[in-house]
Amino acid sequence: MAIKRVLLIAFAACTWPALAHSVHAQAAAEEIVITGEEVGSAYGAPRSFSRSRFSNLTNAYVLPPWTFYFGEIYEGDVFRHGPPDHLFTQEIEMGLPYRFGVAAEANFERFNGGGGASSVSLEGRYALADWGKIPLNPTLFAEYKFGVGPIRHEEGPAPPPGEEEESGPPQRPDAYEFRLLLADEFFHRYEWAMNWFFEKENTGDRGREWGFAQSVITPILLPREQLKVGVEMEYKNFTVKDTRGDPQHTFVIGPTAAFRTTHNTRFDVSTISTHSASCRSTRSKLACRGESAAAGDVAPTIT
């Protein structure tokens, strides 16, 4: 009996460390938590400048490598005379290494009872240096637009009476656009972006426009910069092949607000008034944008 008791005690002493280690390993395994990081900085830029679109009117810098941006944009134009014009845009962008980025957009329009697709575009951008290395952080932007539907609302002069009724509305021509994107942060509080642009249609009336847009915003009230408010404006010079010497000047200005609903999603609203000097008319524009961004890889965290 004494021998059996000694053997039992020896067996328990040998197996206890293994059992304790197994229980500890099981407890440690239950503490493994996998978390996804919010979209980080693009080459040293503040997060506000690492999200493709800076505001409803302006873009800024580039996305971090292998980060994806998704955007839904609505723009409504209300004119003093005539029906409103509704524009919808869906876009997706991907950040690439070496400060490159590519994107695609699909645009839809509804005006005066008719609607459908209007254009599809491909974009590319390149930041000349890491953030802060060059003043105002210049970024080059190029876009090609494929016209896929009729022109439902003329931006320039209206066609002669009867012409549209006989042949129907003309097809939207292809166009190309170049932009210079500038952006910076001042006093660690005020965020600013400016875009210079030039766009030209390849066929049709060969519409051509150039101008600039700029926005400035600052965080208020809520913690972690969840709510930002500011102002934005845009000047545009537009001509067609028959009006090169008599351009249409358009200037818009108004308040803007951005609310960050989660780490990677944001909702923007801008209400701006438009004054066209050549047409001597005013209109109001409402621009709403919902966006989300996601990092390409998610790192596990063990606690």
Domain map of the chain by residue range?
47-302
What is the per-residue pLDDT for 152? 77
pLDDT in tens, 60-113: 999 999 999 998 888 887 777 778 888 899 999 999 999 999 999 999 998 877
Long-range contacts of range 92-97, CB-CB < 8 Å, 24 or more positions apart? 92/68, 93/52, 93/63, 93/68, 93/69, 93/123, 94/63, 94/66, 94/67, 94/68, 94/69, 95/42, 95/62, 95/63, 95/64, 95/65, 95/66, 95/67, 95/68, 95/69, 96/65, 96/66, 97/65
* CATH H-level, domain 47-302: superfamily: monomeric porin ompg (2.40.160.40)
What is the per-residue pLDDT for 277? 57
Which parts of the chain sit beneath pLDDT 50? 1-3, 6-11, 13, 19, 23-29, 32-36, 165, 279-281, 297-303
> Mean pLDDT over all residues of the chain?
81
What is the per-residue pLDDT for 225? 81
What is the per-residue pLDDT for 285? 61
Q: 95 and 65 in contact (C-beta within 8 Å)? A: yes
- The whole-model pTM stands at 0.79
